[in-house]
Structure 1
Amino acid sequence: MIVHLNAITPVSLIIIGLIALLIFGPKKLPSLGRAMGTTLREFRSATKGLTDDDDDFDTKKKVIEHKENEKNEVK
C-alpha cells in the first residue's frame, strides 16, 4: 500500500479532530477554530497584497520601458 504524505483523507481529519477534542476539550474548540480562521484570513489578505504589489511593479516597469523606447524612436 502506497501512502502519500500530502493526501488528507476524511479518516485522517476525524482522527485529528478527536485528538484536538481530547487535548483542548469541547469548550475551547470553537474559539480555537475562530482564531485559526482569523489567522488564515489575515494571511491570505497579506499574501494577496504582496502579489498585487508585484503586478503593479511589473506594469509600471513595462510602461516606463515603452516610453523610453518611444523617445528613442523619435530621435
Structure 2
Amino acid sequence: MVQDAAVTGTGTGLAIIGAGLAVIGAGIGIGRIGGQMVDAMARQPEAAATIQTGAIILAALIEGAALFGLVIALLKA
C-alpha cells in the first residue's frame, strides 16, 4: 500500500512537470514567432499583412499542440 502511494505520487509529480514544460515550450515558441514577425515586418513593410497572417496561424498551431500536451499530462496524473 505504501509503495503504491509513492509510485502514484511520483507519477503525479512528473505529470505536473510535463504539463509545465509543455506550457513553457509554447510560450517560448510564440515569443520567438512574435519577435521574428516584428523583425520581418520591419524589413519588408509591404508584406506585413501576409507575415502577420502566417504568424497568427503558427501561434495557433503551437498553442493547440501545447494544449494537447497539457491535457495528456494532466490525464496521466
Q: TM-score with structure 2 length normalisation? A: 0.56
How many pairs align? 45
Stretches of structure 2 lacking an aligned partner (at least 5 in a row): 46-77
Q: Per residue, is there more helix in 1 or in 2?
A: 2
In the alignment, is residue 68 of structure 1 matched against residue 68 of structure 2?
no
Question: Highest relative contact order (Cα 8 Å, sep 6+), 1 or 2?
Answer: 2
Structure 1 runs of 4+ with >3 Å offset: none
Residue number in structure 1 paired with 2:28: 55
TM-score with structure 1 setting the length: 0.58
Alignment of 1:35-50 (within 5 A): 35-50=8-23
1:63 counterpart letter in structure 2: Q
Q: Percent identity?
A: 4
Deviation (angstroms), 1:71: 1.4
Structure 1 residue runs of 5 or longer lacking an equivalent are 1-27
RMSD over equivalenced CA pairs, Å? 0.7
Structure with larger Rg: 1
Q: Which amino acid aligns with 2:25?
A: D
